[in-house]
Amino acid sequence: VAEQTSTGPRGRYRQQVRSEVLERAWEQIAAAGASALSLKAIAKQMGMTAPALYRYVASRDDLLTELILAAYRDLADVAETAAGTEGPARARLTAIAQAIRVWALTNAHRYLLIYGTPVPGYQAPPEATALASRIFAPVVAGFAATGPAGDPRSSPEQAMRRSLVFWTRLHGVISLEAAGHFTGMAVDPARLYAGEVESVVADLR
Amino acid sequence: VAEQTSTGPRGRYRQQVRSEVLERAWEQIAAAGASALSLKAIAKQMGMTAPALYRYVASRDDLLTELILAAYRDLADVAETAAGTEGPARARLTAIAQAIRVWALTNAHRYLLIYGTPVPGYQAPPEATALASRIFAPVVAGFAATGPAGDPRSSPEQAMRRSLVFWTRLHGVISLEAAGHFTGMAVDPARLYAGEVESVVADLR
DNA sequence: TGTACATCAGTGAACGCGCGTTCACTGATGTAC
DNA sequence: TGTACATCAGTGAACGCGCGTTCACTGATGTAC
């Protein structure tokens, strides 16, 4: 099902419809959560009948897997791009943190699909783990490149430890914000986030 | 439906069945997530027919609301009890943090139901907000009682700011752990958590 | 340029399933005399 | 202590709904000669 002609006029059409399917799927997840993802509903929204979707997708679960992997890949790209920022490690890490936050808030459902409450009964494919490391890698690289002022470099263990703290602190703010748990609390999440980033990165050269 | 005889033999029986309904509901949420909560499934598990449950519960949504409020209340009790610890504010805050973690990991689905990805399409009752503050209050009180070494007290603003940082850092670790995102990562979550608690609390008297 | 043919996107009917909720009812249980 | 009665927990049938998925099919579209 997945791999058929991808060139010529038919191939172009296929890819176009396929990408609309994915788009509608995201809309549904955003509106009603991953467990409400429904092929029939997608088909209806696209003005088609449900069986037609099986030309583009192997099954409901397969679609969900594709969406999750796409989200991972998307975020990994964002992190890697930000890691390309010129300048010292500290600036790079700050850039990564900011890029992740922007992406997470723009794509709250995607972020929560990756790092939020696991979709019940759904088993992530092994590929997901690899992609999770791809997101994490630029952070570890950043901390490995520079140690606290004075030390030019970090040990791998220290870099790993700091990366974990970096990750959990950022996730703490982002996930609460993305899930809407700050509303009505007189919190400035952007400032809070910036402060948390600083807290991990402040003593780097 | 909700309020009927609660004394005498019939009342006792009612409360017993009622609490079994809630128990089974939690089991379901733990197994398949909040959106899979089903009255028919609960009834089946209890060896009853579904309509019988309407003696104990007004509707599916009402049951979900009760469960969420119960989780809030439970965690608030835990936090308040820990806040009763003898000694300086720093010890109290550490005790609160530890108690929250233990509760959150023992009741991962409950914790995620409160602080995780919102249940799609479900609107939390206003009462939930009040309970959320009840959980937060002991932390704020802890930070208000003592300032950084030297200062005997904190301003309310500073106490609030530190409480927020406390909260987001703890949530960062707990939520990732509860959702299983540390598995296969060679992380010691307990140590990481303890370090994060220290990071906020270290400079208190 | 025109025709025959193969490809393949999409349809419509059907399957078995589980859901929340209502309704009129049965029959056991507790209570009042 | 015994009987009549009210209470009320639980049943079974039924409703309309949406789900994933299969299957044989139609008919438009692109391609090869």
C-alpha span between B7 and A144 (Å, rounded): 66
Q: How far is A180 from chain B (nearest CA, A)?
A: 8
Tell me whether residues B176 and A121 touch, CB distance under 8 A.
no
Does residue A13 or residue B153 have the better pLDDT? A13
Output the pLDDT for position B1. Answer: 42
Q: How confident is the model at residue A5 (pLDDT cuts 50, 70, 90)?
A: low
Which of A100, A117, A169 to mutate: most B Cβ within 10 Å?
A: A117
Label residues A6-22 b or e (16+ Cβ within 10 Å = b).
Answer: eeeeeeeebeeebeebb
Contact call for residues B105 and B21 (beta carbons, < 8 A): no
The rounded distance, in Å, linking the Cα atoms of A21 and B151 is 60
Looking at the predicted structure, is the pLDDT value of residue A54 above 60? yes
Burial B9-40, CB ≥16 within 10 A → b, else e: eeeeebeeebeebbebbbebbbebbbbebebe
pLDDT at residue A176, rounded to an integer: 97
Poorest-pLDDT segment among A32-36, A68-72, A118-122, A164-168 = A118-122
Task: Label each residue of B26-40 as H, E or C.
Answer: HHHHHHHCHHHCCHH
Q: Which residue has the higher pLDDT, B82 or A125?
A: B82
Which amino acid type is present at position B149? A
Q: b or e along B71-98 (b: 16 or more beta carbons within 10 Å of the residue's beta carbon)?
A: bbebbbebbeebbebeeebbebbbbbbb
First-residue to last-residue Cα distance in chain B = 53
Range A84-99 burial, b when 16+ CB lie within 10 A, else e: ebeeebbebbbbbbbb
Q: Which residue numbers in chain B have pLDDT < 70?
A: 1-5, 150
Mean pLDDT of A62-81: 97
Q: Which residues pair with B204 in a beta bridge?
A: B148
Instruction: With H, G, I as helix, E, B as strand and everything else as coil, classify residue B148.
Output: strand
Note the Cα A149 to chain centre separation in Å: 32
Which residues of chain B neighbour A196 with C-beta distances below 8 Å? Answer: 165, 168-169
Residue closest to C18 C1′ by Cα: B40
Q: What is the DSSP letter of B119?
A: P
- pLDDT above 60: residue A2: no
Distance, Å, B80 CA → D33 C1': 85
CA distance A153 to A159: 9
Most distant pair of Cα atoms in chain B: their distance = 65
Q: What are phi and psi of B60, to 5 degrees?
A: -60, -45
Find residues 112-171 of chain A whose CB sits inside 8 Å of chain B.
112, 115-121, 129, 164-165, 167-171
Q: Chain A contacts of B181, Cβ < 8 Å?
A: 115
Question: Which nucleotides along chain C are within 7 A of a protein C-beta?
Answer: 7-14, 18-24, 29-31
Its pTM stands at: 0.93
Mean pLDDT of all residues in chain A? 93
Q: Which nucleotides of D are covered by protein (CB under 7 A)?
A: 7-14, 18-24, 29-31
Q: What angle do CA A30, A34, A40 make, to 5 degrees?
A: 90
Distance CA A13, CA A6 (A): 9
B30 interfacial to chain A (CB closer than 8 Å): no
Quickly count: other Cβ atoms within 10 Å of residue B41's Cβ: 17
Closest Cα of chain B to A84: distance in Å? 25
Buried b (16+ CB within 10 A) or exposed e, A24-46: bbbebbbebbbbebebebbbebe
State the DSSP string of B112-135: HHHHSSPPTTPPPPHHHHHHHHHH
Pick the residue from chain B with its C-alpha nearest to A181: B115
Residues of A in contact with B172 (CB under 8 A): 167-173, 175
> How far apart are the C-alpha atoms of A88 and A204, rounded to whole Å?
9
Please give the residue of chain A at the shortest CA–CA distance from B37: A120
Flag if A35 and B31 touch (Cβ within 8 Å). no
Task: Provide, in whole angstroms, the distance separating residue A13's CA from nucleotide D31's C1'.
Answer: 17
At residue A121 the predicted structure's pLDDT band, cuts being 50, 70 and 90, is confident
Q: What average pLDDT does this structure show over A6-15?
A: 85
Contact assessment for residue A91 and residue A98, using Cβ atoms and an 8 Å cutoff: no
Query: Å from A44 (CA) to C16 (C1')?
Result: 22
* Cβ atoms within 10 Å of A173's Cβ, excluding its own: 29
